[in-house]
Amino acid sequence: MHQTEQRINPLTTIMNPQSVVVAGASNSIVKMGAIQALSLLNSGFAGPVYLLHPTEKQVLGRPTYPSPEALPEAPEVALLVTPSRITLPLLDALGERGVRYAVIVTAGFAEVGADGEALQKELLEITRRHGIRFVGPNCIGILNTHAKMNMTVAPYLDQPGHLGLISQSGTYVAQTMAYLRERGIRYSQAISVGNSLDIDVVDGLDHLGADPHTKAIALYLEGINRGREFVETARRVAREKPIVALYAGGSEAGRRSVRSHTASLGGPDALFDGIFAQAGVLRARSVQEMFDWGHALANMPPPRGRRMAILTHSGGPAASMADACDKAGLTVTEFSAELQEKLRPHVVATASVKNPVDLTFIIESESFVKHLPEILFGAEEIDGILVHGMMDTGFAKMIIDNMGSLAGGAPPEFLKMLEFDLDRLLVLPAQTGKPLVASTFLRVDHAAETFREHGVPLFSSPERAVAAMAALADSAQIRARRRADRAATETPAVTERASVAPRNEYEAKRLLAEYGVPLPREELAAEVADAVRIADRLGYPVAVKGLPPGVAHKTEAGLVWLDLRSAAEVQNAAEKIREQFPAAPLLVSEMLCGGRELVVGLTRFPGFGPCVMLGAGGIFTEAIRDVTFRVAPFDRAEAVAMLDDLKLRHVYGALRGRPAVDREILADILLGVGRLALEHPEIAEIDINPLIVVDGRPIAVDALIVAG
Amino acid sequence: MHQTEQRINPLTTIMNPQSVVVAGASNSIVKMGAIQALSLLNSGFAGPVYLLHPTEKQVLGRPTYPSPEALPEAPEVALLVTPSRITLPLLDALGERGVRYAVIVTAGFAEVGADGEALQKELLEITRRHGIRFVGPNCIGILNTHAKMNMTVAPYLDQPGHLGLISQSGTYVAQTMAYLRERGIRYSQAISVGNSLDIDVVDGLDHLGADPHTKAIALYLEGINRGREFVETARRVAREKPIVALYAGGSEAGRRSVRSHTASLGGPDALFDGIFAQAGVLRARSVQEMFDWGHALANMPPPRGRRMAILTHSGGPAASMADACDKAGLTVTEFSAELQEKLRPHVVATASVKNPVDLTFIIESESFVKHLPEILFGAEEIDGILVHGMMDTGFAKMIIDNMGSLAGGAPPEFLKMLEFDLDRLLVLPAQTGKPLVASTFLRVDHAAETFREHGVPLFSSPERAVAAMAALADSAQIRARRRADRAATETPAVTERASVAPRNEYEAKRLLAEYGVPLPREELAAEVADAVRIADRLGYPVAVKGLPPGVAHKTEAGLVWLDLRSAAEVQNAAEKIREQFPAAPLLVSEMLCGGRELVVGLTRFPGFGPCVMLGAGGIFTEAIRDVTFRVAPFDRAEAVAMLDDLKLRHVYGALRGRPAVDREILADILLGVGRLALEHPEIAEIDINPLIVVDGRPIAVDALIVAG
């Protein structure tokens, strides 16, 4: 379906076309075709734009061409906003004319059901025949602000920016234009991938990863059809550029909404937590976070550490910022005596210079916007600067307006507050390589506008500023780790092996053992007497299980006898099992008790292939679903890190005199299960539960392998 | 310090004064005194405002009075924005003149350290002498929009509203005025309590609880000095009115910031989780949430249940809303066939009516703003309606502006989009008693303005709308439960008992047993031989512990011997203990194993008195701090509910064939520990760890009581 091997990304041309032909624009300008053509014509695009129309001679005041054959050249990219029934023959004709790239806005394909799916298949055949690479169908168009090329329904009225967006919903490309402009958030490029029939989010990531104007990438996802490639590409791009993703589709209602929207494949929420961790992608939990964080990531340098300075003249927001930092793992420690001494001359006596620096309610702003920031940005002990409310000229304005009732109006010393100079402050991030993130409760404000103009992130509440700063710090750590990992990355060679079909726990475990999964000492007994002999040899206590074919829930069937402390108890257990299942093989194992348990599993999610799961075991498995996933194959560093994803990770550290879980052995198990799944595509599911931790060593006490 | 017994809340007068005298306003109008006087003079306040000034004859264009004695009457309330050194004699003179209420903005008291604390003590003496009740010092003033009375630094320019605010930071009263106005969030009253030397957040809660214009209450807290009274008052008020609180001060940096700000007493974050749960207060995690939720709670009816309908024409936001609902415990189930049938005629063929209702990109808006909402609000299967983006006239406007480049400009059918009629939709919440919460990415938008005018909550991202709806649903459930509890509320009589000082685990446990805490079968042995006899009587296995005085960590000292399976093992253990501690009493207990453990504790937090703690036990105690608190005394319903606060609550439910923890027994323990603490103020701390769950019954296996 997708041509991943292709070296040249089709988006290189589509996002930077020399010439464009538009089909679907008419003089009925309430239709999307006309609106999108208008966006393109008004966007300042330098190349020729050809309008196709079968009957009207002029559209939007420009001459038209009646058909692709009539065009004076083969335009590089076609924008189609035509009804679905004429889109197919039109593409055929455009292909004949030599068009090789298209943006297909037209809806009515897979997202509307079976009829649409048939149409979509046909669309693919036609484009394949002509070698046409395309975005869509069912998208809202594309935008490249640096090329002044806008094929969406909404005008882009801001300067070009550094945030690249790939979205499975057109809304976040077009309907958010005003939202972004008001907040100073600027796109480099934005791509609405629609149904992703040809070009998809993976191609988009690859493309924006290489785009020099794009400093950070935001993704809106409702599902991923090429999971493996997504992880590989995101992982590669995330080494150099921050990626933030919002995934909506984890809930049943979300999926219902998604199916009727872009026909993507959703998956459980925890799967996406796992693959984002694996790929080095920050996960946003809301549209607001996606844009907030994307904005900060696209415009601020990465902090070298997590030590924050807070500067404000409002005690409440200072406390909120400090508290939010604490929760986000950013530290706001008391400044050194040396630093406090440097700050002190620039504040009033009642102000605090400990961190947060709280100047209290003052009118004088010079120290606030110049001297103090210079000292803080220059301090070795600080990695990032958070500011709240320092530039509230809007607040002064409100008060000044209120003074209109007086004979003399507002006095000049007050009016000065409206125009203090922020230039010194706003260049400090670039000069010092330290990020600045700010918040204010005022939007209509000269200083706030200055922040936006300079691309310095300014949010409407202190906690949002802190969350964006935390995203900067997290992202910096991800990149540092990824770069360190690069050398160590293993790409294991995978050779498919002969099919296997383990018939019971014993056979499942032997297969797992071949892939490095540690097992308890255990042997299979054909007869009751053998079981007793084996138990004697293993030493008591032991466990005895009956393994008749086709019984999935052994415990419920009375097939599991634990903690047997003598030959007599073993004999009794084996006999009880044989009474019910006369031919059942008997598995006699050493009895393991560790207090701590894990589970490891394998699931094949559509679009992702084999995904290895690690979860908290024992009573947790049912009580709280604490699991994480990785798409196989993954390297050892990734396997070692998986445990850190669990909420209960500390349960598996050194605890109460018990050693920490041996992460190397655990990594062997996780890598082994992944390799097993890759070499045996006939295996649908693996469930190792429990993996009991004995003196830190995880051992597979029970296992199930399900053939697909 | 606080006069809780007083029947009439002083805020009744302070927030609705007949007349006001202002001290501190001068013709230097860049000073806060002038700014605040100006706010009051411009706010439309009906009563007389007297300005005091020792030398200037006119201030702000009005005649002044040189001293309190010169005033023509005793004004009801004094507003003081004077330097701290003259505030004290001035208050004395105002008291002499008969003033009984004050708002003291003046800073420089306890928040600045020892000197300020001395001054604050003096302030209290003077006001006590004259019976003056006051807000502050170190506050930013007060606001009553319905009385047109504004004593803050910022003008209030909106209509009167229904959200009451009590804030320990002046910022959220004054600096947020523009923020709130842009969002249609309107105060009924706002009170900046500052250092809360006399009137505090508890008085504020009591006052706003009784105010008919206030439909919901928001609290910004940095600490609580009267914890017990806070819980009682909030609990009473929360039966009738939603309360949402933001607490900043849980982190070390937060507390550092708070100390230099309002000198409040902070406390650990988990304590506030507990008291908010106990009080029925929703906890916001950011300034944005506090205002978002407060806005929705003040203006929308409570939903009868958690079944949501989502209406939109954007697939992405629909998926985000559905996903966010799922995470917030709101259900977005597929509509019944009957309901889908009713909706179908009003949408285009490609639209989905399953829920979310996604109309896709359309221009026609009648069905969107009228027919569909009427059907949804009328449906029995729906408790609340979430809408995204339906009223994007701003979007149309943007496109229309883009059409300015055309000869004819935008066509009339498009212009119609700018003015569709929302009146039908916006009255539906009041008519049907079902809440409507909306989101849009457009702020400059005729329809968005109409929403704000009608007080219908409209947020700038879909997840914020869902969070506000969840707050409505949570709040409705809190009130329903609180009303049901009212009859059952016990107020246990507390009589202080003779002091006790348990010297060791055995004595601590006996004392706990008197308060209903179940213990294992155990006896104290004076000699080794006794220990063996007791063990024989109890039956094996047993535990033996040595209890020498003054040893806190018994395990580390080799004093704890577990799982002893014979007389010989007991003898050996007892002898080993006696070798090290020859006189140590020996405690012989039945050996209990349950797999699940809890911890119960008692701490006295400054301002709160005794707080009972319940936490997940065993390996969790160290691995994740999963605890909750209640301020004692609390009733049985509250004690029974405590387990639900734990993240790991499901671990204590029926699990893997084991019964759920017996909540009645657990409630006995929690109530008993609370009563013990109330009756024995000499006890500083109690630690029952572990409380082992045996067949569902929690039993105190170890306990420590620390005298204060």
> Within a 10 A sphere around the Cβ of B259, how many other Cβ atoms?
21
Chain A CB contacts of B444 below 8 Å = 178
Over residues A206-212, the mean pLDDT reads: 98
Model confidence at B464: pLDDT above 80? yes
Residues 6+ apart with CB under 8 A from A224: A201, A230, A264, A265, A267, A275, A607, A608
DSSP 8-state class, residue A380: T
pLDDT at B414: 64
Q: Out of A246-260, A659-673, B373-387, B419-433, which region has the weakest mean confidence (pLDDT)?
A: A246-260
Over residues B114-134, the mean pLDDT reads: 94
Residue A138's pLDDT band, with cuts at 50, 70 and 90, is very high
Chain B CB contacts of A360 below 8 Å = 107
Q: Which range, A298-302, A493-497, B29-33, has the best average confidence (pLDDT)?
A: A298-302
Model confidence at A365: pLDDT above 70? no
Residue with tokens 């560093």: A637
pLDDT at B507: 95
Cβ contact A624–B389 (<8 Å): no
How many Cα atoms within 13 Å fall on the side-chain side of residue B599? 23
Distance CA B155, CA B177 (A): 8
Residue with tokens 């929302």: B422
Residues 6+ apart with CB under 8 A from A434: A301, A303, A304, A377, A382, A383, A384, A385, A428
Q: Out of A383-392, A683-692, B123-132, B319-328, which region has the weakest mean confidence (pLDDT)?
A: A383-392
Closest CA to B463 of B446, B438, B442, B483: B438
Of A350, A402, A596, nearest to B155 by CB-CB distance is A402
Of B170, B323, B332, nearest to A249 by CB-CB distance is B323
pLDDT at B126: 97
Indicate left, alpha or beta for B408 from its phi (over 0: left) and psi (-120 to 50: alpha).
alpha
User: Bridge partners of A616?
Assistant: A598
Of A254, A413, A441, nearest to B176 by CB-CB distance is A441
Distance CA A594, CA A205 (A): 45
Instruction: Encode B488-553 in three state secondary structure.
Output: HCCCCCCCCCCCCCCCCHHHHHHHHHHCCCCCCCEEEECCHHHHHHHHHHHCCCEEEEECCCCCCC
Q: Out of A185-189, A361-365, B212-216, B345-349, which region has the weakest mean confidence (pLDDT)?
A: A361-365
Q: Out of A272-286, A321-335, B431-445, which region has the weakest mean confidence (pLDDT)?
A: B431-445
Is the torsion defined by CA of A591, A592, A597, A602 positive or negative?
A: negative
pLDDT tens by residue, B282-302: 999 999 999 999 999 999 999
Distance CA B605, CA B227 (A): 9
Residue with tokens 């066939």: B337
Distance CA A401, CA A406 (A): 10
Distance CA A217, CA A280 (A): 12
Tell me how many degrees the CA angle B74-B78-B84 measures, rounded to the nearest 5. Answer: 130
How many A/B residue pairs have CB atoms within 8 Å?
Answer: 333
Residues 6+ apart with CB under 8 A from A86: none
Cβ contact A315–B262 (<8 Å): yes
Q: Nearest C-alpha of chain B: how many angstroms from A437?
A: 17
What is the rounded radius of gyration, in angstroms, for the C-alpha atoms of chain B?
31
**CB-CB contact of B223 with B168 (8 Å):** yes
Q: Out of A204-208, A216-220, A444-448, B656-660, which region has the weakest mean confidence (pLDDT)?
A: A444-448
Residue with tokens 């093992």: B569
pLDDT at A552: 74
Residue with tokens 């609902």: B325
Q: How far is CA A483 from CA A280, A476, A477, A636, in A?
A: 11, 11, 10, 15
Residue B628's pLDDT band, with cuts at 50, 70 and 90, is very high
Chain A CB contacts of B320 below 8 Å = 246, 248, 254, 286-287
Residue B111's pLDDT band, with cuts at 50, 70 and 90, is confident
Closest CA to A268 of A282, A251, A290: A251
pLDDT at B599: 95
pLDDT tens by residue, B230-266: 999 999 999 999 999 999 877 777 666 665 554 455 5
Cβ contact A29–B463 (<8 Å): no
Burial A369-390 (b: 16+ CB within 10 A, else e): bbbbbbbbbebeebbbbbbbbb
| CA end-to-end span of chain B | 23
Residue A349's pLDDT band, with cuts at 50, 70 and 90, is confident
Residue A261's pLDDT band, with cuts at 50, 70 and 90, is low
With 0-12 / 13-18 / 19 or more C-beta atoms within 10 angstroms meaning exposed / middle / buried, residue B14 is buried
Distance CA A440, CA A426 (A): 15
pLDDT tens by residue, A10-69: 999 999 999 999 999 998 877 889 999 999 999 999 999 999 999 999 999 999 999 999
Say what percent of chain A tops pLDDT 90.
Answer: 71
Residues 6+ apart with CB under 8 A from A225: A1, A196, A200, A264, A265, A607
Residue B617's pLDDT band, with cuts at 50, 70 and 90, is confident
Tell me the residue type at B390.
Answer: M
More confident residue, A350 or A97: A97
pLDDT tens by residue, B170-206: 999 998 998 999 999 999 999 999 999 999 999 999 9
Cβ contact A316–B261 (<8 Å): yes
User: Which residue of chain B is at minimal alpha-carbon distance from A35?
Assistant: B399
pLDDT tens by residue, B541-582: 999 999 998 887 888 889 999 989 899 999 999 999 999 999
Task: Output the six-digit token pair for A88.
Answer: 């197919």
Cβ contact B394–A441 (<8 Å): no
Say what percent of chain B tops pLDDT 90.
Answer: 71
pLDDT at B363: 56
Residue A297's pLDDT band, with cuts at 50, 70 and 90, is very high
Q: Which range, A208-222, A443-457, A644-658, has the best average confidence (pLDDT)?
A: A208-222
Chain B CB contacts of A651 below 8 Å = 619-620, 623-624
Q: At what angle do helices A462-485 and A227-238 cross, to 10 degrees?
A: 100
Of A175, A248, A395, nearest to B323 by CB-CB distance is A248
Cβ-defined contacts of B414-419 (< 8 Å, 24+): B414/A29, B414/A30, B414/B363, B417/B363, B417/B365, B417/B393, B418/B393, B418/B446, B419/B393, B419/B446
Q: What is the largest CA-CA distance in chain B?
A: 110
pLDDT at A208: 98
Model confidence at B412: pLDDT above 90? no
pLDDT tens by residue, B69-104: 999 999 999 999 999 889 999 999 999 999 999 999
Q: Nearest C-alpha of chain B: how many angstroms from A653?
A: 8
Tell me how many degrees the CA angle B555-B561-B566 measures, rounded to the nearest 5. Answer: 175
3-state secondary structure of A609: strand
Structural domains in chain A, CATH included, are: 11-297 (3.40.50.261), 300-482 (3.40.50.261), 521-590 (3.30.1490.20), 596-707 (3.30.470.20)
Phi first, then psi, for residue B546 (nearest 5°) are: -90, 135
Of B352, B443, B462, nearest to A287 by CB-CB distance is B462
Task: Evaluate the omega torsion of the peptide bond into residue A137 and state whether it is cis, within 30 degrees of 0.
Answer: yes
Task: Evaluate the omega torsion of the peptide bond into residue A690 and state whether it is cis, within 30 degrees of 0.
Answer: yes
Tell me how many degrees the CA angle A487-A489-A493 measures, rounded to the nearest 5. Answer: 130
Q: What does chain B come to in residues?
A: 708
Distance CA B621, CA B598 (A): 8
Over residues A80-93, the mean pLDDT reads: 94
Average per-residue pLDDT in chain B?
Answer: 90
pLDDT at B4: 47
DSSP string, A342-371: HHGGGS-TT-B-SSSEE--S-S--HIIIII
Tell me the residue type at B99.
Answer: V
DSSP 8-state class, residue B416: G
Distance CA A441, CA B171 (A): 10
Residue with tokens 């760890």: B689
Beta strands in A502-585 (DSSP E): 522-525, 542-546, 560-564
Q: Is ipTM beyond 0.85?
A: yes
pLDDT at B256: 67
Average per-residue pLDDT in chain A?
Answer: 90
